[in-house]
Structure 1
């Protein structure tokens, strides 16, 4: 007798079986917009308070700052900025073992830890008990949200604030009418052979992306630009920046001039190193070919102001160490957003009255191994104004 053939399932039966399987899957419990998760820290602290080879502060508040670079108060403020975005458009797949979406607090903590430590996504995931893909999704979603919601923390100051900055620079360093210090740093990366053009290869034979910043006396970013190849000259980077266009058209650095002495008036300006051109609004040091006492005295005062920018970059790259490590084949269209968000976080720490940790800057210069390239470009008016400042400091 021939074996009995099994009847094939009809399309309707298949659909019913599929639906039955779907119904068995746990559904994610949506986040309550008003809910604040405080338990994540206890779980994280229990898991990470005794990591081998890491000197973690014993005090819990100091430890929180150690891991996330922000105090608990500042952390809560950061959560408030991105809460709506992370709840309304959560990345897919962020469901923990209880079938609940990851809380906003835990998402922010994961992203901050990734940016602060620069550790691999696997290591960061292990610290929170989540997978690598979750760290990747959470970090990028946080970056997108903060980039949009924290714009007000990085903008050129209004006239009242500029007057305060000028007053502080003069009080602290003796340079009148100075509005800030400008400098650049390299964000080093590896690139696939097909993308490794000479434009991205810098003077130290690294592939890098430039970050230029203008800072006030408190090391706060007043302006920044990034995205440009590290192989270009600093003077060229300046001219391509929006900051240059704003200054050249008188939209900024065009406030009250100051009379230094009879016949000598100084406009608003920022100070920059020898890699920058000498312009009416950008004052660089005297050449080393000028050994006069007055030139040396000016250069010493100038260097103290310029070092504010260098110190700020050291703090930025020491606090958000993803910027200080060699980035493995980053998406160059996304890297500027990562850099910008680290700059925003730097400013948020300052704006919230939090403190920049003294021990986070890495040893040496923020661009260790990079030497300044001398820019010979000089505008006559810039040279004249620098002469006024030099004479003023001798009086």
Structure 2
């Protein structure tokens, strides 16, 4: 399986050199036809540069697109679709199937609209998208896993260098994926605080907005703290299988273990540090800590806004989704988010739909606080004052 290179920003070369794009790997004919059909649509501002236009439509550069095709090619070829033929009467290539799926996930447009953009029917879009989701869910697992010790040290160094918080391994947050449920499936569990039917997505992110861990599938009506307790991340952290690396000495008598930061909705734990509940006194040292803490936590909020802006199927109300399939759709969008970063591609800066991923939602304060968590937060607060 191809190993992707390092990340880059727009206009930069990948750190380790991106894999050269094989001109034969992409069926240029489908792209030329698609571009001609869709580049001058009314109300759509498509970039004039062809490479930028490709990125606009599919969220991935042509090089990254080629890599994604390589991940799923064997699955899409080994199980040839029945009747997946375009209007020219030819069987869809792997590249065109991947393009259809990416466009459906990226735009959030209806299957009919996406089909019209490619000259295929609604049922073809449905089949192709789900086959792609099944394949990528299986073949891209290595793009979403907890880092090894060397990588964790790099992440901690970056968080401290940029934000000033020592030994921090990531930021955790949650977002709601809003959906419409049939009356027979509707229940209070799925109705969240804003009276929307939604499914939770929890993510832990590194300094580059890469998912280090995620969990989804749980009803949006539960509390964030309960979602945390049900997650594999909680079990791994509590048992010391992760966040159990080298402690750091802050000053005499004060050591800080590895941890992640989370907002007021999360409990204060030895490995999950939340903000102080403070006054408005500008001289209060707790305010200085909260300021640093919020800057780190905002990495997660920005990452969710980026995810939902890039893969807009997650930001639009999903009409009567299959609750067994929706977690797979969410997971694949998270995998694609990581693949873009891992392949040295760039995350588009203008795609987030708003400054926050859950507009209109407010944090529900969690009162749970463990004494050791409070002690460690105190150490960090004191450290930042020195």
Pick the TM interval, shorter chain.
over 0.9
Q: Which runs of 5+ in 1 are unaligned?
A: 1-33
The correspondence for 1:194, drawn from 184, 195, 216, is 184
Contact persistence 2:204–2:213 (CA under 8 A): yes
Contact persistence 2:25–2:66 (CA under 8 A): no
RMSD: 1.1
The correspondence for 1:104, drawn from 80, 84, 94, is 94
Alpha-carbon distance, 1:229 to partner: 0.2
Structure with bigger RCO (C-alpha 8 Å, 6+ apart): 2
Alpha-carbon distance, 1:116 to partner: 0.2
Work out the CA distance in 1 between the residues paired with 2:147 and 2:87. 47
Work out the CA distance in 2 between the residues paired with 1:52 and 1:96. 24
Matched, 1:307 2:298: yes
Question: SS at 1:367's partner residue?
Answer: coil
Question: SS at 2:184's partner residue?
Answer: helix
- Cα deviations across residues 69-116 of structure 1 (Å, max 9, x unaligned)? 000000000000000000111232112345432000000000000000
The correspondence for 1:160, drawn from 150, 164, 171, is 150
Matched, 1:80 2:70: yes
Match of 2:141 in 1: 151
Bigger shift: residues 227-236 or 280-289? 280-289
Match of 1:67 in 2: 57
Work out the CA distance in 1 between the residues paired with 2:25 and 2:254. 61
Match of 1:298 in 2: 289
Matched, 1:48 2:33: no
Match of 2:368 in 1: 377
Match of 2:275 in 1: 285
Match of 1:223 in 2: 213
Calculate the TM-score normalised by the size of structure 2: 0.92
- Cα deviations across residues 252-278 of structure 1 (Å, max 9, x unaligned)? 000000000000000000000000000
- Cα deviations across residues 355-387 of structure 1 (Å, max 9, x unaligned)? 000000002311000000100000000000000
Question: SS at 1:393's partner residue?
Answer: helix
The correspondence for 1:271, drawn from 253, 261, 264, is 261
Alpha-carbon distance, 1:37 to partner: 1.8
Match of 1:57 in 2: 47
Work out the CA distance in 1 between the residues paired with 2:90 and 2:114. 20
Match of 2:21 in 1: none
Work out the CA distance in 2 between the residues paired with 1:199 and 1:97. 44
- Cα deviations across residues 101-141 of structure 1 (Å, max 9, x unaligned)? 20000000000000000000000000000000000000000
Calculate the TM-score normalised by the size of structure 1: 0.90
Q: Which runs of 5+ in 2 are unaligned?
A: 1-23
How many pairs align? 362
Work out the CA distance in 1 between the residues paired with 2:363 and 2:100. 37
Match of 2:244 in 1: 254
Contact persistence 2:87–2:119 (CA under 8 A): no
The correspondence for 1:340, drawn from 326, 331, 341, is 331
The correspondence for 1:358, drawn from 316, 327, 349, is 349
Alpha-carbon distance, 1:288 to partner: 3.0
- Cα deviations across residues 332-353 of structure 1 (Å, max 9, x unaligned)? 0000000000000000000000
